[in-house]
Each structure stands twice: as C-alpha cells, then as structure tokens.
Amino acid sequence: MKINEKQLAQVNDRIKALVSAGSFYGKKLMEKNITSVHSAEEFENLPFSEKNDLRDAYPLGLMTAPEEEIVRIHSSSGTTGLPVIIPYTAKDVDDWGEMFKRCYEVAGITNKDRIQITPGYGLWTAGIGFQNGCEKLGAMAIPMGPGNTNKQIQMMQDMKSTVLCSTSSYALLLAEEIEKRGIKDKIMLKKGVIGSERWGKAMRERISSILGIELYDIYGLTEIYGPGIGINCSESEYMHYWDDYLYLEIIDPVTLKPLPDGEWGEIVITTLVKEGAPLIRYRTHDLSRIIPEKCTCGRCWPRIDVIKGRTDDMMKIKGVNVFPAQIEEVLHQFPEVSSEYQIRISHLDGKDTMRLYVETTGDVEFLKLADSIAKKVKSVIGFTPLVKVVEVGVLPRSEKKTKRVIDERYE
C-alpha cells in the first residue's frame, strides 16, 4: 500500500515541524538537504528513525511542539540504558483517545460496558491509554492497575465487570484462578482486550474457553502514542489500524527495502498528525505483514497480521535462526499440552543445546509425548531439541510478561 497524496502532505507538514524544532530527525534531513517529499519513491528514501535516536534525545530532545503546548510526557521502560521520553500535546492525547475509542467500538464494546483495566498506570502508556479510550466511549472504567489478584477478582464480581483489559499473561493467571475457585458463574465478563505481548493461539484459546469470553488483540507502542493504534475485529485475528493517523510500511529487516503487501517483515510507522514528538519511518522491530484483502466486516481500515515476534527475538541456535512463534505453532498441534512453555539454550561441550519444557496433565505418557514433540520441532527448525514434559502449573506464571526464552550461553 503506497503512501497517498493526502498522507504525503501530512508528512511534509511534520517534516517542517521537525526541521524548525531542530530535533534529531530534523537534523538528519538538513544533512541530506531534504525539505519535503513529492512521491512515494521519495518518501521511501527518507532515513529511518531508531530507538537509539530516541534514547540519545533524552530527556526532551524529541519535543517538536512549543513547550507551552506540551501537556504530558510518557516513557518507555527500556530494559537497557536510558528510557525514551515522549512529549504529548493536548491534541495528541485527544487523538490517542479517539483511536482507542475506535478500538473498543471495533470490539463491539459500548457505553453500557464496565471495563476493568489491569495494565499499569504511571509513566508508561498502558493503563492511562485504556482509561482515555474508555472515558471517550462513555463506558465505566474500573481503574485497577496491575496485581493484587484477590482484589481484582472481588471487584470483577462486585462491579460486574463486562470487559477485561490486560496482558495475555495476566488474563491467563486470572482465568486459572477463577477456574480454581469455581466462581465462573459469578463472573460477568464478555470480552477481553489483550495487549502488550505476543501470544500464541493455544494461550488465546485457553483464556477464552475458561472464561467463555471473546478476545481482541490490541496493538501499539509507547513511541507511537501507546496501545490503541490497531485491533482485530470479530471477523478474524488480523488487526485493523488507523491510516488517518498512521502510515505503515513493511520492510525487509536485512536489506531495509519496503516489501510488497502480503510479505512478512518489520513494521515501520510514520505518525501523520502527531505534534509533541512526530516520528518518520520509525523501526518497530515487530514482525508482521499487510493483509491486502478487504475485511468482510466492511470497515475500510487496512489490516496487519498478528505480530509474529520481534526481529530481536530471533534466536541463533546451532547457526539456525529460530523464532519462538515457530515453536508455538508446533505446540499448538498437540492438544494435550498447555499454552505455557519455556526454552532454555545452553552451550555444552562446544555445542549449542536447546531444551524445551512443556506442560501437560498427568494422564498422558510423558516420554512418548516428548518424543513426538521433538520430532515435530525438528521438522520445522532442522535440529532436535531436548524436550522435557512437566505437570501443568510447574512453569512460571506472571502478572506482567512471561519470560519464555532463557539463553544461558552468555550468563
């Protein structure tokens, strides 16, 4: 999907603002003597923005609107080094709320719903994003924030929450707890809006079947507003995204060239109307593809596939590139295993070894199951992992994001 005339005009507007604010990107453009773009080809030759550029701008180097117009900042946690600070104008906050409201609407959520929000509030964009959209929709927000499972379940019953917003890990933890306590009939949930980490089909099916709810996958990242820039509709798992606010490209992460619609690659995002910290051609490192077909729901917003992983999730084992999503796809073919798994990579006697832990109930033969999983995995990645089958509940559960890959080679 090439950038259109209107979007090009919006990009030129943002270029002007970036240059006059003297931001890192404005400087990049000045060095190349670029003051505007006039065609899709020229746009595709614009330099990329990277997370490191944003870090280097710490604390307020990304600020592109005048200080008196900035009403808020958010920050991405950043596991290494400096965090990224993103300034927002009142219009940015409002635009984000509109996009989020659209997400709820696409999920069939209305102003009669009661939305229990469990992502964290604070510097990061999670909780407050879900809250903004909820208030714009006119639904009732129950702003719980993360953790305290007892209280979550109590409020869920007392307030008769109809929508749960959470990470997939926490949704699973809550679902299993509700099942254990045998209180499913006291829970009024109908829908879950799940974001912030990649999750497999098995996990999705488990949460949805325990709670008897429909699940929606929400997309977003702090650098680009936050969660709420896309969501799937009830027709499929592909996510609609808002092309009146954002332009998405898919590039080959190695050659950095744009890929045709339908091909898998890295998502690159340009914000079309953002004022506080506009970003041009921002590399997300998320892997997906554009779905070229129109959605049967009749909405004309374009779609991307479920995020398959991150370019930096890629594990190099025995010289082979392996993605966690490939392992998940294999495990999904075994109905007797749970959604939880763990991969441990170590280096023993001069060789890489991959151990794969999976969970199952007590009524199957563990050794036989391990053997058939090992064979299936080999057929996909080309070498045989050591598979260990354990009882359901043995692998760690998390209130935030579950760490599934542990690389012991560099510890």
Interaction between residue 246 and Zn ion (CB under 5 A)? no
Tell me the closest approach of the beta carbon of residue 229 to Zn ion, in angstroms: 16
> What is the DSSP-derived secondary structure letter of residue 122?
S
**C-beta of 302 vs 385, nearer to Zn ion:** 302
**C-beta of 2 vs 299, nearer to Zn ion:** 299
Tell me the closest approach of the beta carbon of residue 262 to Zn ion, in angstroms: 17
What is the separation of C-alpha 350 from the centre of its chain, rounded to a whole number of angstroms? 36
Query: Using an 8 Å Cβ cutoff, are 370 and 389 in contact?
Result: yes
Q: Which of residues 326-355 bind Zn ion (CB under 5 A)?
A: none
Token pair of 212 as six digits = 């008897």
Instruction: Supply φ then ψ for residue 200, to 5 degrees.
Output: -90, 170
Strand-by-strand arrangement of the 246-251 sheet: 246-251, 265-271, 282-288, 309-310
Interaction between residue 295 and Zn ion (CB under 5 A)? yes
Pick the binder of Zn ion from 297, 374, 390, 405 (CB under 5 A): 297
Interaction between residue 5 and Zn ion (CB under 5 A)? no
Contacts for 260 with CB less than 8 Å, ≥ 6 apart:
none
Binding range to Zn ion, per CB under 5 A, among 27-35, 90-98, 292-300, 393-401: 292-300
**C-beta of 47 vs 108, nearer to Zn ion:** 108
Instruction: Supply φ then ψ for residue 196, to 5 degrees.
Output: 75, -5
Sign of the Cα pseudo-torsion (20, 25, 31, 32, in order)? negative
Q: Shortest CA distance to 55 belongs to which of 21, 31, 81?
A: 81
Tell me the closest approach of the beta carbon of residue 304 to Zn ion, in angstroms: 12
Say how far apart CA 92 and CA 103 lie, in whole Å: 17
Q: Which of residues 19-38 bind Zn ion (CB under 5 A)?
A: none
Sign of the Cα pseudo-torsion (75, 76, 79, 84, in order)? negative
Binding range to Zn ion, per CB under 5 A, among 64-72, 92-100, 231-239, 286-294: 231-239
Interaction between residue 235 and Zn ion (CB under 5 A)? yes
Query: Using an 8 Å Cβ cutoff, are 315 and 406 in contact?
Result: no
Site string for Zn ion, 299-318 (x = CB under 5 A): x-------------------
Interaction between residue 291 and Zn ion (CB under 5 A)? no
**C-beta of 34 vs 295, nearer to Zn ion:** 295
Binding range to Zn ion, per CB under 5 A, among 61-69, 228-236, 261-269, 331-339: 228-236
Query: Using an 8 Å Cβ cutoff, are 341 and 331 in contact?
Result: yes
Interaction between residue 233 and Zn ion (CB under 5 A)? yes
How far is the CA of 62 from the CAs of 25, 67, 177, in angstroms?
A: 9, 11, 43
| Residues binding Zn ion: number (CB under 5 A) | 5
**C-beta of 297 vs 395, nearer to Zn ion:** 297
Say how far apart CA 330 and CA 378 lie, in whole Å: 10
Interaction between residue 293 and Zn ion (CB under 5 A)? no
**C-beta of 240 vs 404, nearer to Zn ion:** 240
Question: Applying CB under 5 A, which residues contact Zn ion?
Answer: 233, 235, 295, 297, 299
